[in-house]
């Protein structure tokens, strides 16, 4: 899991422990020309250098997403999970679109106080376009301008200079994601009609004295929370669809705890250990952010006899950590049992460390994301049986479980059949209609 390669003017180290144990000198960021200069994402927390601005922005997010505050968001998460069930009941073929709407809607409601009722929602579309821009520009090693920074000064109009070019409107899409939802909240506050949210609360708490900080952290929370949550959700879903034994075992646990006369809620969580293990295994198996965002060493260091000079770029190889056969035997197998507690059992290490970042750069919204993933999985698989789709001859269509390899990994598109699992599933789902 450790190695060194030289590319252009930079030394890029892949490592597995330094950012956690020596975070004081490994928490800065290298300059990333494509994401920072070319598309204009330098305001986002993942790219902000370690210092006063980073600490202030981090404080905003930490205080709002601290564990004691998470129950405040349960009603929003449950409401959107139930809306997802209704969407799946009415239109199961477009399941991916419904899950995308739900993942975006939860973040949009919590961060901006905006309720998303359809995929055509204007603010959701604006945020989605900005998110796609970040995904296109943020993949580590995908852009030569990040490895040889002086190339960013070559004018775009010179023939052959395609490495800086992105689709028309790219910078504008990212700027809209940053500005439009924030302006929406301010307008609602001015008329007294704002739904309490991260943005409205923080604007009031700071007396409107740090609008850029509130705006930037809000946009960052959305962009980071949506794509990674969606990835983990789709990873868990595809794993349970291709393995009916795991799905049936999860549903048996749900039936034992929840019964058959209500939908599950957050109060059931402590009694559903197997499903919690499914969530953990989705983090490990899917390795949502395989290498994360690079870190920069702010002073010389030595590790295992190797000299690491100040200014080195440090890459955390999360995928390798989460697929190390010495830590997770048979790592390519989706196996929730590896995390189960019990007599005579030694659970394998919790994967949330590598999955959510390292040291002082750990994702502040990791617990909120985990809650969203959990309530979605228990709701979907309690109400529905989800199986691979079949062809005209009734044979199951094979599902490719490989993921796309980008800054955020996603399962490849797959077809499935979604049917109510219980005789009263439809009635229970319809009863959630407001």
| pLDDT per residue as tens digits for the range 280-315 | 999 999 988 887 777 778 888 887 788 888 888 777
pLDDT score for 128: 81
Higher pLDDT: 233 or 224? It is 233
Confidence of residue 64 (pLDDT cuts 50, 70, 90): very high
Q: Give yes or no for residue 107 having a pLDDT over 70.
A: yes
Enumerate residues 6+ apart whose C-beta is below 8 A from 314: 13, 15, 18, 19, 26, 294, 295, 296, 297, 308
Q: Give yes or no for residue 268 having a pLDDT over 90.
A: yes
Confidence of residue 39 (pLDDT cuts 50, 70, 90): low
Higher pLDDT: 14 or 176? It is 176
pLDDT score for 13: 43
pLDDT score for 403: 86
Six token digits for residue 60: 């905003």
Q: Give yes or no for residue 223 having a pLDDT over 90.
A: no
CA distance 291 to 315: 6
Fold entry, domain 3-430: Cytochrome p450 (1.10.630)
CA distance 356 to 360: 11
pLDDT score for 142: 56
pLDDT in tens, 234-266: 999 999 999 999 999 999 999 999 999 999 999
Report helix, strand or coil for 196: coil
CA distance 312 to 264: 48
Please state the rounded mean pLDDT for residues 158-186: 76
Q: Give yes or no for residue 7 having a pLDDT over 80.
A: no
DSSP class of residue 306 equals E
Written as one string, the DSSP assignment of 2-50 is -EEEEETTEEEEEESSHHHHTHHHH-B----HIIIIIS--TTSGGGSPT
pLDDT score for 156: 62
- Strands 313-316 and 10-15, how do they pair? parallel
Overall residue count recorded for the chain in this entry: 434
pLDDT score for 419: 98
Q: Give yes or no for residue 72 having a pLDDT over 70.
A: yes
Higher pLDDT: 152 or 262? It is 262
Q: Give yes or no for residue 177 having a pLDDT over 60.
A: yes
Report helix, strand or coil for 68: helix
pLDDT in tens, 119-133: 889 999 888 887 777
pLDDT score for 147: 60
Confidence of residue 33 (pLDDT cuts 50, 70, 90): low
CB-based contact 218:210 (threshold 8 Å): no
Nearest to residue 136, comparing CAs of 404, 324, 336? 404
**Measured between alpha carbons, how far is residue 67 from residues 55, 71, 139, 240, 362 in Å?**
19, 8, 30, 28, 15
Single pTM value for the model: 0.87
Q: Give yes or no for residue 331 having a pLDDT over 70.
A: yes
CB-based contact 177:222 (threshold 8 Å): yes
CA distance 290 to 297: 20
Nearest to residue 45, comparing CAs of 37, 55, 33, 34? 55
**Measured between alpha carbons, how far is residue 310 from residues 10, 25, 298, 314 in Å?**
11, 9, 5, 11
- Percent helix, percent strand, percent coil in the chain, to nearest 5: 55, 10, 35
Angle 37-43-49 from CA coordinates, rounded to 5°: 90
Higher pLDDT: 359 or 412? It is 412
Domain boundaries, the chain: 3-430
| Percent of the chain clearing pLDDT 90 (strictly above) | 56
Higher pLDDT: 380 or 139? It is 380
* Mean pLDDT, rounded, of the chain: 86
CA distance 348 to 102: 31
Higher pLDDT: 172 or 71? It is 71
Higher pLDDT: 100 or 133? It is 100
pLDDT score for 45: 74
Q: Give yes or no for residue 434 having a pLDDT over 80.
A: no
List, as residue ranges, the binding site: 363
List, as residue ranges, the binding site for heme: 363
The kind and range of the H/E element at 374 are: helix 366-383
Q: Give yes or no for residue 68 having a pLDDT over 90.
A: yes
């Amino acid at each position: 899991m450790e190695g060194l390669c030289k590319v252009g003017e930079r030394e890029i180290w892949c490592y597995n422990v330094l950012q956690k144990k020596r975070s004081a000198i490994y928490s800065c960021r290298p300059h990333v020309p494509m994401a920072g200069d070319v598309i204009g994402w330098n305001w986002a927390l993942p790219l902000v250098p370690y210092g006063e601005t980073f600490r202030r922005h981090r404080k905003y997010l930490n205080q709002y997403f601290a564990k004691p505050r998470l129950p405040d968001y349960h009603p929003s998460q449950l409401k959107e999970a139930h809306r997802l069930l209704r969407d799946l009941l009415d239109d199961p073929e477009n399941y991916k679109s419904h899950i995308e709407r739900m993942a975006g809607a939860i973040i949009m409601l919590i961060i901006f106080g905006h309720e998303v009722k359809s995929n055509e929602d204007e603010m959701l579309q604006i945020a989605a376009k900005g998110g796609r821009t970040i995904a296109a520009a943020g993949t580590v090693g995908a852009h030569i301008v990040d490895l040889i920074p002086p190339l960013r000064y070559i004018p775009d109009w010179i023939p052959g200079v395609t490495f800086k070019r992105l689709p028309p409107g790219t910078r504008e899409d990212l700027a809209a994601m940053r500005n439009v939802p924030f302006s929406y909240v301010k307008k609602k506050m001015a008329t007294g009609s704002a739904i309490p949210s991260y943005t409205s609360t923080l604007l009031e708490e700071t007396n409107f004295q740090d609008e850029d900080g509130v705006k930037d952290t809000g946009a960052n929370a959305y962009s980071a929370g949506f794509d990674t949550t969606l990835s983990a959700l789709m990873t868990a879903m595809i794993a349970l669809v291709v393995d009916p034994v795991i799905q049936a075992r999860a549903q048996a646990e749900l039936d034992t705890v929840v019964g058959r006369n209500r939908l599950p809620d957050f109060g059931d969580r402590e009694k559903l250990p197997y499903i919690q293990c499914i969530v953990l295994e989705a983090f490990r198996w899917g390795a949502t952010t395989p290498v994360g965002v690079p870190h920069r060493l702010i002073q010389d260091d030595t590790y295992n006899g190797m000299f690491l000079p100040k200014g080195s770029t440090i890459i955390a190889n999360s995928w390798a950590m989460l697929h190390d056969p010495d830590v997770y035997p048979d790592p390519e197998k989706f196996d929730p049992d590896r995390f189960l507690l019990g007599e005579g059992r030694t659970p394998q290490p919790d994967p949330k460390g590598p999955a959510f970042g390292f040291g002082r750069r750990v994702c502040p919204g990791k617990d909120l994301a985990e809650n969203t993933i959990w309530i979605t999985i228990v709701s979907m698989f309690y109400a529905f049986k989800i199986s691979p789709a079949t062809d005209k001859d009734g044979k199951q269509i094979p599902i490719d479980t490989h993921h796309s390899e980008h800054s955020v990994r996603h399962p490849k598109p797959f077809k499935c059949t979604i049917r109510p699992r219980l005789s009263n599933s439809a009635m229970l789902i319809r009863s959630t209609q407001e």
